[in-house]
Structure 1
């Protein structure tokens, strides 16, 4: 049975090397030959599971060619409780083992589902907390007159990426989630040439 390694970064400015190094170290320490491992990789937000590498991993799992998935951290799979728990439940029900190397957890079966649920809850709380802290910081900077917002003409995400995702069949709300922008912003990106 094949082992898969999954790596995800949120944008091109991030580096995959630390994830790859940690996973490779775990595989080597457990006597797993690296050339037998199937690697999957994405450069997408974890707020959606509609990612090419993740979808290819899911297909390999459900085709029965992958029975163990190794990730750097659990939040590489998903950043929301709903998506994460659904994924873990599907995998555990299919006797798929999930190993998170930096958190030193091995998820499988009903206990794995429970632990995974708790871990995804923590990941989502962290994401919400970061957004709240950012909003408070912006509000405080606005009061001091230090924050003027994004400069006119700049974008939070690449408009061409919105068009690529639309061509792949994603809906407006799904594109917004994938890019970390509002639906209104997505429609603006899609309507500009």
Structure 2
């Protein structure tokens, strides 16, 4: 690989997020510094900042370690990682290879190979990691409170919907929107019990796959939701009582 004077790393956490604000800041930075953007190697991806399994991030570090990068431009330090050891791995690789990190947004704007700016960058990375830990704690606490209140957390099971946080059987499914009705699943399981294959039963049931039907049928507790109208989970049992004749 030809050595690039400038490389840029862009990361967004989810598919729904946009990275255009990062790209715009980077374009402005390159323009203001008289750098032709066509000469810049971009590494962009959608991934969690806590994940080690980031192809572009890994590729960038490998190119740094191979001496193929001279300068890296990022939008802010948190784009690199939201786990301390990942940020340190990146900073150490750049320091060892003599790479300067430029930051377009944040308290530190340059992290030099001689360590200038590294202390502040380390603090920012630590704060980002702590923010992530706090978010996880708040999320888990909120989920626990929701479960204790009888509310459903996460996607509803096949044949159910969630209204105002509470699970209920889907008795009026919107097939055009990809929904499956509660009694659709019941009928599909009855068909399997009568000798139909999972493929045949799934083909006759709106918006359900063979794999999903098979998984429900082979899970004794979950199968009982649809066949017997009973569940060990109180939230599901409360919902099933709405479907009882």
* Mapping for residues 60-139 of structure 1, pairs under 5 Å: 60-103=63-106, 104-108=108-112, 109-139=114-144
Residues paired across the two proteins, number: 154
Could you tell me how far 1:25 is from its partner in structure 2? 1.0
Could you tell me how far 1:148 is from its partner in structure 2? 4.5
Of the three residues 46, 57, 70, the one matched with 2:60 is: 57
Could you tell me how far 1:143 is from its partner in structure 2? 3.2
Q: Hey, what's the Cα distance between the residues in 2 that align with 1:59 and 1:74?
A: 19
Q: Secondary structure at the match of 1:111?
A: coil
Cα deviation per residue 1:31-85 (whole Å; 9 max; x = unaligned)?
Answer: 2111111111111212133322122222322232311111111111111111111
Could you tell me how far 1:90 is from its partner in structure 2? 1.8
Q: Hey, what's the Cα distance between the residues in 2 that align with 1:89 and 1:150?
A: 41
Of the three residues 142, 147, 167, the one matched with 2:147 is: 142
Of the three residues 151, 155, 170, the one matched with 2:156 is: 151
Q: Hey, what's the Cα distance between the residues in 1 that align with 2:92 and 2:66?
A: 17
Which is bigger in relative contact order (C-alpha 8 A, separation at least 6)? Answer: 1
Cα deviation per residue 1:91-122 (whole Å; 9 max; x = unaligned)?
Answer: 11221111121115211122333222211110
Could you say which residue in structure 1 is the equivalent of 2:18? 15
RMSD: 2.0
TM-score by length of 1: 0.72
Cα deviation per residue 1:114-142 (whole Å; 9 max; x = unaligned)?
Answer: 22221111010000111111122222323
Q: Secondary structure at the match of 1:14?
A: coil
Higher helix share: 1
Q: Hey, what's the Cα distance between the residues in 1 that align with 2:127 and 2:97?
A: 25
Contact 1:89 1:113 (C-alpha < 8 Å) held by counterparts: no
Gaps of 5+ in 1: 154-191
Gaps of 5+ in 2: 159-214, 216-245
Q: Hey, what's the Cα distance between the residues in 2 that align with 1:32 and 1:152?
A: 53
**Higher gyration radius (CA):** 2
Change (3 A) 1:86 1:56: closer
Could you say which residue in structure 2 is the equivalent of 1:46? 49
